[in-house]
Amino acid sequence: MSRICEGRVVVVTGAGRGLGRAHALAFAAAGAQVVVNDLGVGLDGTPAADSPARRVADEIRAAGGEAIAHGGDVATSTGAGSLVAAAVETYGRLDTLVNNAGFLRDRMLVNLDEDDWDAVVRVHLKGHFLPLKHAAAHWRAEAKAGRTPTARVVNTSSGAGLLGSLGQGNYSAAKAGIVGLTLVAAAELARYGVQVNAIAPAARTRMTERAFAASMAAPDTGFDAMAPENVSPLVVWLGSATSAGVTGRVFEAEGGRITVMEGWRAGPTVDKGARWTPEEAGETALKLLGEAEVPGAVYGG
């Protein structure tokens, strides 16, 4: 087993189940000390009685690794701050932050309540921003003290954030926002020794089990293309020191496939050098669209 994260301290949010659990276990197997964060809520964000973070931390320790559980709400400044503090106070440092926490409240736009919009944007987008903010403040202080870190952040976007997904306006908007946050953080934090990237994973979890059924495992090879564990190797590499020089990028990961996603770039353009009339603008826009690449289809469309 590769130990490319030997001695690193890694925080994973939403690590009680699914992708987050797979990431936490993979980092521990790669030698990291892991802070397993999970609020323990249901699929829609409502409170649940169990503590999945504690179970995953116990699982890591039973396998000979080092881990602690953290049950704070990372979409609050107090919870996010205590998460970073837990890593530093327990292990003396923080090297990698993996933002993964989230849940779904799917509705078509005309049926989407304001509360469902706010709740999903809060946990996904604010739940990325606040841990990143507190971790960045720690790493900035370290850099200013002459201890420039080899720090890594891996954010979790989605194909829904890159292409859109019917019935998921709140989720798609939040996941698109995470890509924008990733690009800004990568540019702002580079001076402090921090690299920031994002993944857009496709895997079978509580949020996607209806879309990705267990029956998708290939019977001839035994390879389950939708297992969340398939995504974790890329996340572990991005969270390690060996990913030096890779920042501000978005990767799609599914089964045995890894894709570098290429975002908005300037395509066909015309500059008149003067103001257009509406008719001229429309005629020109149609001409440019005829020369441009056709965007990918919205999921479910």
The residues annotated as belonging to the active site are: 158, 171, 175
Give residues with Cβ within 8 angstroms of 244, minimum separation 6.
150, 195
Q: What is the CA radius of gyration of the chain?
A: 20
CA geometry: angle at 60 spanning 129 and 53, to 5°? 45
Q: Is the separation of the CB atoms in 273 and 249 below 8 Å?
A: no
Beta-strand ranges (E) seen in the chain are: 9-12, 33-37, 66-70, 96-98, 151-156, 194-202, 250-254, 257-261
3 state DSSP class of 107: strand
Nearest CA among 224, 240, 232, 223 for reference residue 258:
232
Question: Looking up tokens 């030096």, which residue turns up?
Answer: 244
Residue 78 DSSP class:
H
Nearest CA among 153, 168, 178, 209 for reference residue 18:
209
* Strand partners for 253: 201, 258
Sheet holding 250-254, edge to edge: 66-70, 33-37, 9-12, 96-98, 151-156, 194-202, 250-254, 257-261
Q: Is 255 exposed, middle or buried (0-12, 13-18, 19+ CB in 10 A)?
A: middle
